[in-house]
Structure 1
Amino acid sequence: MTNLGRRRVPGGGFTPVRRRAVALTACGALVATMTTGCWAEPSAMPAVRDFLIAWQVGNYEAAAGQTVGTDRKQVEDALGRVRQQLDAASLRLSLGTEVQGSDVDQIVKDGDEATARFTVKIDLGENGQPWEYPGLMRLRRVGGKWKVIWNQSVINTKLRPGQRLAVRTEVPKRAPITDTQGRPALRVVYAYNFGVYPGQLADPQKTLELLSKQTKIDGGRRLDAERLLGRVRSAPPQAFLPLLTLQSPTHNALIQRLAHLPGLHYQRVREPIAPAYAPELVGNLGPATADRLQEVGAPYQPGDTIGVSGIQLLQQRRLAGTPTVRVVAQDETGKNSEELRSWPGQEPQAVQTTLDPGYQRHADNALKNLRSPASMVVVRPSTGEVLAASNHGTNGRNLAFEGHYPPGMTFGIVSAEALFSRGGMSQSTETTCPGTVTVGGKTFTNKARPDSDFAHHFAASCKTTLAQLGAKLDAQTLVQQAAQLGIGKDWGLNVPAFTGSVPTPANDGDKAAVMVGEGGVQVSPLSMALVAAAAYSGTWRPPYVLKDIAKTVQAPPPQSPPPESISSLKKVLARTAATGNAKGARVSGDVVGVAALATYAEGGQTKTVSWFVGSSGDRAFAIAVEGRVNTPAIAARFLS
């Protein structure tokens, strides 16, 4: 049943509760309601009061002591199973009820017979909505004392002899994730649905504890055996209850172990549930372990298959919808049943992405033979759509969106734009490129070049040129110009992404370091692809990857640097691709970009990241490889 084991807390959230917890807090209120008017029926009231209070607090032996008409052990068992059969968080009882909107007498006496009306309120955890219904019991005076005449209908007036309560959960088919054309971004794979037939389990607790011990999934996550037990006890006894879905071949070893677990059954199915591409972004499905349930919230529960990463997790409620839950009265065969209450679910809705399978395939192929972790993002400059997000060797991390790397001289695109728009320069401004320069106590080196124009020195990766030109900009201007190109801004993206960070320089040395993409500057491939997109289109636009889904944070408006600065920037990047460090990527005349190496410290080691940032027509992209590689050649493979 949906959301069992969770209780609504202030603010609309839920917090776990133990199913066997008994609601003691309402006892005072219950006693108070039952003493009201007790002098009108002093003889029957104590029996009704004691029976309901004992039932509510879980003292079933005492409740059975107030009954007549059957073996008291049967009464104890029947009352004790109510919570189990509903997997209820709490059960509260009060004397009196409303019939057709009018108050009626709580207890009506007719000689040695009497009837008592009461209200049952059971917290099923269904989005905080309790199941409340009127109850009716008959009483008889035996030896001068009033006793409750036991019958199954005391639990619920619609229960007949031989019937029990049960919960049926109808889970809708999960909606697909699609590409930019509405085609599925998921592929069909074999999967195994493991579950139980509750009525056939000799020892449900033992079976579920064994299942929990076997299912160490994704870093040690386990299914919650106690909450699974509550679900099994509340389910129809003879119907197959799925508890775990595992994909083949990903979980073949676990599938083999579970296939031999006593009491566990499985069904082999073929379902479109695995990502066809961009798995780090599209995401995967997995079992609803205890910690994952904390993440996705109500109304999901152990035994459900939920999104565990990427879009599958972030859009879990939209893609999965919510189950329809029905409380039924049925016999042990499960064939004859009557619905007592239902909570309608919500239909799943597909999630359409901006991903283009063609671009994605080209990006994947460009990275596939690399020996080091690598990531690549492709965006459409005219719209901000993310066309591809490729990750190679990243152990499931979406470094294309979330990587934190120093940009090195690729940040020169940002610095050059700032110089053109705020520093009074153009691509033809005469500059120098000495082999060594010291600015504010920081020393920068590169191969010395003859004096020439800025475009020539930029194409030759002259770090000393940019370090010196930092004097033309104040610290705040440099940071502001980076923000105009989206770095460090909140993009309002519906998926996790690192937008970059540029520390405000404290002195001239820090400013020179920022100019060349050092000094604590960090970016992601996505943030640099957007910089390249702005350089191509003349406008920075916020990225998006999900269509028709409202953003939780308002995206920043498009930013348009002065046209003359964009014109100079295009010429600089074209020179770099034609004759400079990016010329290996120039497979056609419209390719522009810049390549760079940047070093950084991580885990006590000095590491290198190789970059290519550029565009070709209405497609801008960034490549980052952890290691020293020829990124222009990778860009050429993508463009070809």
Structure 2
Amino acid sequence: MSRARRILAAAVTLTAASMTLTGCFEEPSAHDAVRDFLVGWQSEDYELAASRADGDPAVVRKALEAAKLDLDAASFRFRVKSLNRQGDATTAQFGAEVDLGENSPLWEYESTLPLHLVNGVWKVRWSQSVLHPQLKDGQRLAVRPSSEPRQKVVDRTGEALQRPGRLYVVGVTPSALGDETSSVVKQLAAITGFAEDRLLSRVRSSPPGDFVQLATFGRDRYLQVQQKIAEIRPKVHVQPQDQPVDPAPPRDIVGKVGALTPETEVKLGGPQRAGDSVGRNGLQKAYQNHLTGSTKTQVITLDLKTGEDVAVLKEWPGRPNGPVHTTLDSLTQQAADAAVSTTQSGTLVAVKASTGEVLAVGAKDMGQVKDALGGKYPAGTAFSIVAADALIKAGVKPSQRLRCPAERTVGGARFVFTGQTQQPAATFQESFASGCVTALASLARRVGAEQLKRSAEAYGIGVNWQLPLKAFTGKMPSLVTDAEKAQAIAGQNVEVSPLTMALVAAAVKSGTWRPPSLVTSPDRPDPAAEQLATKPPASVPVDPAVRTALTAMMKAGVASSPSAQAGAGRVYGVAAALPSQQLGWFVGWQGDVAVAVLTKNSDAAATAGRFFGALRNPR
């Protein structure tokens, strides 16, 4: 719950608390003193509370107000448990609940209010122990937060996927500020944009000798404010820190890290404190809480004269942080980046065929998340891999003779093939390999709509698989007419992402479609991030006879696209072109690495060939 909501909740419960304190005792005189003191303390009506104590009202008021400041508390709430009278003395037992604010834990403790008669009026016997039973005169309360350094996102070998970047942590030592505390904090608030009262309460609640970090700047932002900060030094200290914040490829997948700003503090509403680093996108954002953990918090007592710790009243260890382990492979990523760098615009997704693990995501002038994982693109004849599964099961043989005219109409839908038309003796396999859309579309009457749907789902298209980052599983519309079936076989009404198609290639290679994975540990991202399904969909085996046929067909597909074959090693796949949108696909595999390449105004098959060549011969 946010600080503002907690304060509101405390205010709302005040009336109920007052009624509880009013109605739970039969002894009206001592009860009135307890009620007024605790209700006054809880509602910050320190005048009312002080009127029910036997101490100097100014001293009592100051002590109660200081307790809230010393703890940087959002609210106090009290519950009276019992009232025991012995002669002219009475003791009230009560429970206290202190909201330490900024998503820190609730501090609960039990204490007593000693009361005695003063001139016939019940009064709270005042001492510092009224605030907490272990607090003595000459002492104060304080809160000490601490956190662990941000952890790393790592690849499958444990290699860090970010490089050190410099952040500038700005803070103060309270004891060095003296009477200038308010002035210094006011200037710092103007520079950082953080609320002045929040910075001030943080300084006042901290042990005087501790360094209290109040803001963190990235390099560019720090250079902008450096001169202004210099004007309030040496009261304000700047600590340069090298932290793992600069992402290595694939940068969009790993994500950027920045300093917490007033704007992101409001949006996140999490355990962050001003000065923390925050994941802006990618896995850094999805696993923000896991990478940072939560703040360790101590409530302590301090000696007012020396500023030294006296006792720890309560300690919360916080949630431990840890690295995020991914399936990414740095060498495969280098090959993907090298391959797409030569395109005008393109993206490449590589997965481990035997597991569905994402190995690399390369992109140029396209987004690694937005396009490679989550893009919605027409499949074109790359979808013929899936359509062929349904057609072969329906009895169409790869050796089936098909005509490949330049144009054909099926059920009223017109299809145009811009490639080189084949001889009349061409087969289904040859039409598949060359992407002859007119020949493929002619098979619409040989397969049912339900058969096409089942094959699409068996290859994960439209199935509810998820990643910790936004991903598109594909979409095929309802098919009723022959025209709609023909358009599906040609991939004209089917939308897919490059990741979806890489998994299709992996299924043919391995004999089983598997849902993708990108992170192996922890099990799921933060609750506020994109959620993984409770249970991933089951793996789906490919019919062995179909797999044998598709393997031969995709071998022929590479023969029709020789640019996909680079150097030693057999590549299997199929190329597809969508001339009207200037898009090109290559979907295939080599060894245990399956890929989908999508390019604009570039040769997708050649990009795949460069990838496999670079993968075999890393620099």
User: Which TM bucket (shorter chain)?
Assistant: 0.7 to 0.9
Letter in 1 for 2:11: A
Give yes or no for contact 2:21–2:35 (8 Å, CA) kept in 1. Answer: no
Give yes or no for contact 1:391–1:398 (8 Å, CA) kept in 2. Answer: no
**Which residue in the other structure is 2:155 paired with?**
179
Distance 1:416 1:270, change over 3 A: same
Cα deviation for residue 524 of structure 1 reads 1.0
Residue 282 of structure 1, aligned match among 254, 278, 281: 254
Distance 2:216 2:104 in 1: 28
Are 1:106 and 2:89 counterparts?
no
Alignment of 1:298-377 (within 5 A): 298-331=270-303, 334-372=307-345, 374-377=346-349
Distance 1:370 1:164, change over 3 A: farther
Cα deviation for residue 334 of structure 1 reads 3.8
Are 1:593 and 2:596 counterparts?
no
Deviates more, 1:190-199 or 1:264-273: 190-199
Distance 1:549 1:272, change over 3 A: closer
| DSSP-derived class of the 2:377 partner | coil
Distance 2:129 2:413 in 1: 86
Deviates more, 1:529-538 or 1:485-494: 485-494
Distance 1:230 1:599 in 2: 63
Give yes or no for contact 1:192–1:255 (8 Å, CA) kept in 2. Answer: no
Give yes or no for contact 2:213–2:274 (8 Å, CA) kept in 1. Answer: no
Letter in 1 for 2:483: G
Distance 2:146 2:222 in 1: 28
Cα deviation for residue 398 of structure 1 reads 4.6
Give yes or no for contact 1:31–1:49 (8 Å, CA) kept in 2. Answer: no
Letter in 2 for 1:171: S
| DSSP-derived class of the 2:144 partner | strand
Give yes or no for contact 2:563–2:606 (8 Å, CA) kept in 1. Answer: no
**Which residue in the other structure is 1:428 paired with?**
399
Distance 2:325 2:451 in 1: 39
Distance 1:21 1:559, change over 3 A: closer
Residue 436 of structure 2, aligned match among 450, 462, 468: 462
Give yes or no for contact 1:24–1:57 (8 Å, CA) kept in 2. Answer: no
Distance 1:516 1:292, change over 3 A: farther
| DSSP-derived class of the 1:267 partner | strand
Alignment of 1:396-407 (within 5 A): 397-407=369-379
How many residues align? The count is 595
Distance 2:228 2:242 in 1: 19
Residue 68 of structure 1, aligned match among 31, 54, 62: 54
Residue 119 of structure 1, aligned match among 95, 117, 120: 95
Alignment of 1:372-451 (within 5 A): 372=345, 374-394=346-366, 397-422=369-394, 424-447=395-418, 448-451=421-424
Percent of matched pairs sharing the same residue = 36
- TM (norm. structure 1) is 0.84
Cα deviation for residue 239 of structure 1 reads 1.9
Distance 2:172 2:370 in 1: 36
**Which residue in the other structure is 2:529 paired with?**
none
Deviates more, 1:136-145 or 1:146-155: 136-145
Cα deviation for residue 357 of structure 1 reads 0.8
- TM (norm. structure 2) is 0.87
Distance 2:150 2:247 in 1: 14
Deviates more, 1:160-169 or 1:353-362: 160-169
Distance 1:238 1:597, change over 3 A: farther
Structure (1 or 2) with the greater helix fraction: 2
**Which residue in the other structure is 1:613 paired with?**
587
Give yes or no for contact 1:168–1:325 (8 Å, CA) kept in 2. Answer: yes
| DSSP-derived class of the 1:487 partner | coil
**Which residue in the other structure is 1:538 paired with?**
511
| DSSP-derived class of the 2:403 partner | strand
| DSSP-derived class of the 1:180 partner | coil
Describe the superposition over 1:277-303 as per-residue Cα deviations: whole angstroms up to 9, x where unpaired: 212222233344577567766544444
Deviates more, 1:140-149 or 1:397-406: 140-149
Are 1:629 and 2:602 counterparts?
yes
Residue 154 of structure 1, aligned match among 125, 130, 147: 130
**Which residue in the other structure is 1:499 paired with?**
473
Where does structure 1 lack aligned partners over 5 or more consecutive residues? 7-15, 98-104, 214-222, 601-606
Cα deviation for residue 622 of structure 1 reads 1.1
Give yes or no for contact 2:461–2:474 (8 Å, CA) kept in 1. Answer: yes
| DSSP-derived class of the 1:245 partner | strand
Distance 1:255 1:365 in 2: 39
Give yes or no for contact 2:564–2:571 (8 Å, CA) kept in 1. Answer: no
Distance 1:455 1:244, change over 3 A: farther
Where does structure 2 lack aligned partners over 5 or more consecutive residues? 525-531, 614-619
| DSSP-derived class of the 2:69 partner | helix
RMSD of aligned alpha carbons: 3.0
Distance 1:631 1:252 in 2: 43
Residue 508 of structure 1, aligned match among 471, 482, 485: 482
Describe the superposition over 1:182-229 as per-residue Cα deviations: whole angstroms up to 9, x where unpaired: 23223222222233445633247634642453xxxxxxxxx6666555
Distance 1:235 1:145, change over 3 A: same
Cα deviation for residue 123 of structure 1 reads 2.9
Give yes or no for contact 2:104–2:271 (8 Å, CA) kept in 1. Answer: no
